[in-house]
Copies of this chain bind each other. A is one copy, B any other.
Amino acid sequence: MKITSTSNEKVLAWAKLKMKKYRDIENTFLVEGDNLVQEALKKGIVKEIIATYETNFNVPSYVVNEKIMTKLSMMVNPPSIMAVCNYILPDNIEGRVLLLDKLQDPGNLGTIIRSAVAFNFKTIIISDDSVDMYNEKVIRASEGMIFHINLIKSDLESMISLLKNKGYKIIGTDVRSGQSIKNYKAMQYAFVIGNEGNGLAIETKELCDGFVYIPINKTVESLNAAVAASIIMYEANNE
């Protein structure tokens, strides 16, 4: 179907998906650009294709003009293809697990997702009060890896008790104290990464079975959250 007006009902509904509030109502999100659309198609979650040209995928498709693309895109240079995708359903928890406690920066979350897939982590549990995982910057920074990992957004406390029941040890990260990462190499550890400014919340710390730390020069207060998470996952993978 062809759409030419930026005030078309479909266009207005899609444009609303730029806001978390409406994504959560519709349980759908947008991905921009050929690479991400391809990844979403492989994952089987594409509901609709929006492109400036005729496409030939097995989903409802709309041909739009550049004005409409500009309206829908979050980028300075709008793409020529986008997809409306269904929220990704959480899968069973297995393998290596990373927990994120109040992570705020979308770039950090995307980078952590990318590193998690790189270092064979299977599940990331994101606390309710973290940045939205369907934020366009998260998806972009993940370089499409958001489609290759089990992402669960939930209340951290109940997830930690579920993990403990499954036999996982919960390992917090602490800037100055804790054991060397080298001591935590087995599969049954779940690592918790804290907020960019404040680290782990006290309530979360109390639920941890142990702590890990990365030795750093004392001039530096802490590492960037995505860097810290990546080094921990790199080491855990480096058995």
Q: How many copies does the complex hold?
A: 2
Asked if A223 and B115 sit within 8 Å, CB to CB, the answer is yes
When each residue 121-150 of chain A gets 1 if its CB lies under 8 Å from chain B and 0 otherwise, what string results? Answer: 000000000000000000001010100100
Q: Closest CB-CB distance, A139 to chain B, in whole Å?
A: 14
Q: How far is the CA of A234 from the CA of B214 in the complex (A)?
A: 9
Q: Closest CB-CB distance, A223 to chain B, in whole Å?
A: 6
Q: Closest CB-CB distance, A72 to chain B, in whole Å?
A: 24
Q: Which of A56-64, A75-83, A224-232 contacts B (4 or more CB under 8 A)?
A: A224-232
Across the interface, name the chain B residue whose C-beta is closest to A145: B220
Interface residues on A, range: 20 to 34
Our pick among B114, B148, B237 for the contact of A224 (Cβ within 8 Å) is B114
Residues of B within 8 A of A231 (CB): 230-231, 234
Across the interface, name the chain B residue whose C-beta is closest to A143: B221
Across the interface, name the chain B residue whose C-beta is closest to A148: B219
Asked if B227 and A111 sit within 8 Å, CB to CB, the answer is yes
Q: Is A198 an interface residue (CB 8 A)?
A: no
Q: How far is the CA of A210 from the CA of B76 in the complex (A)?
A: 39
Q: How far is the CA of A120 from the CA of B223 in the complex (A)?
A: 13
Asked if A220 and B111 sit within 8 Å, CB to CB, the answer is no
Asked if A111 and B224 sit within 8 Å, CB to CB, the answer is yes
Asked if A117 and B214 sit within 8 Å, CB to CB, the answer is no
Q: Is A33 an interface residue (CB 8 A)?
A: no
Asked if B217 and A119 sit within 8 Å, CB to CB, the answer is yes
Q: Closest CB-CB distance, A199 to chain B, in whole Å?
A: 14
Q: How far is the CA of A215 from the CA of B233 in the complex (A)?
A: 12
List the interface of chain A (C-beta within 8 A of B): 107, 111, 114-115, 117-120, 141, 143, 145, 148, 214-217, 219-221, 223-224, 226-227, 230-231, 234, 237-238
Which 10 A/B pairs are nearest by Cβ-Cβ distance? A118-B216, A118-B220, A227-B230, A111-B224, A117-B220, A148-B219, A231-B234, A118-B217, A120-B217, A117-B219
Could you list some 18 contacts between A and B, CB below 8 A?
A111-B224, A114-B223, A115-B223, A115-B224, A115-B227, A117-B219, A118-B220, A118-B223, A119-B217, A120-B217, A141-B224, A143-B220, A148-B219, A223-B230, A224-B226, A226-B226, A226-B227, A227-B230
